[in-house]
Amino acid sequence: MSLKKHIDNTPVHDDLHKRNQNLDEYERDYSCNICYPKTKKYDYDTPFGRFWDWLQGSWPPVEDYSSLTETYYELFERNYKQLQEDPEDTHILVEALKSLGNLFFTLRYRRLPTNTTRDVSYYIIAVYNATEGFASGSTPRAKLKLLQEGKAPGYLEETEQKIHNLIVKWWTGKLTEPAKIDSDQQTVKTTTFKIATVLTSTPVKAISKLKTFNI
């Protein structure tokens, strides 16, 4: 399913709930809070809470999430921890990107985003890496601003620097990997979210080609 189709399906799915229809015959909506109610009490003072607060503030099209968002975020965190053990493992990075690719289909949107999910994935994983997983006291908005300006996100420990370098290689299309992520959010599949080779310029030059994340 494309992100556009997911967004278009949301009001249809909600209407089915209102009419008490049997949903088994219709397309699932993984962002639905009736089908997939949040499992945790929302708390800004948790890594996920800080991530969600940052994402809402930085990406206005996004509006709400479901328990599956929590699931894929936790899976992404596990992927990242594996990447810390081997910060040059391309396969683990691909798995982390798959988790984020699936996460996008568990969100509710006010409108179709103008950013590609590929670019938003870059910002999420780069900011996550630069803030020690949205740790308490971290400054994700400031890190995002630096990244948008084509700058380094500040001082990084050796492992985090290696991970950042790997992320930038992926984002600028310089990783050697046979698979590819679709570059448009309207063609990304949840089951085929793989390594991309779209941009080929340096990070500083590539940044000018992006639509601003905060729209």
pLDDT in tens, 134-182: 999 999 999 999 999 989 999 999 999 999 999 999 998 887 654 444 4
The answer as to whether 105 is a domain residue is yes
Cβ-contact 149, 207 below 8 angstroms: yes
Q: Is residue 104 part of a domain?
A: yes
Q: How far apart are CA 88 and CA 167, in angstroms?
A: 10
Confidence band of 24 (pLDDT split at 50, 70, 90): confident
Is residue 65 in some structural domain? yes
Q: Are 69 and 155 in contact (CB under 8 A)?
A: no
- Cβ–Cβ < 8 Å for 31, 66: yes
Would 213 be classed as within a structural domain? no
pLDDT above 70: percentage of residues in the chain: 80
> Domain for residue 215, yes or no?
no
Calculate ∠ Cα 118-46-66, nearest 5°. Answer: 55
187 is a domain residue = yes
Question: Could you report the per-residue pLDDT of 51-92, keeping only the tens digit for each?
Answer: 999 999 999 899 999 999 999 999 999 999 999 999 989 999
Amino acid 157 reads E
Residue 202 included in any domain: yes
More confident residue, 1 or 4: 4
| Within a domain: 212 | no
Q: Which two tokens stand for residue 107?
A: 């969100």
Number of domains forming the structure of the chain: 1
**Domain around 101:** 3-207
Do 212 and 148 meet the contact criterion of CB atoms below 8 Å apart?
yes
Question: CA–CA separation, 67 vs 152, rounded Å?
Answer: 33
Q: What is the pTM of this model?
A: 0.80
pLDDT score recorded for residue 140: 95
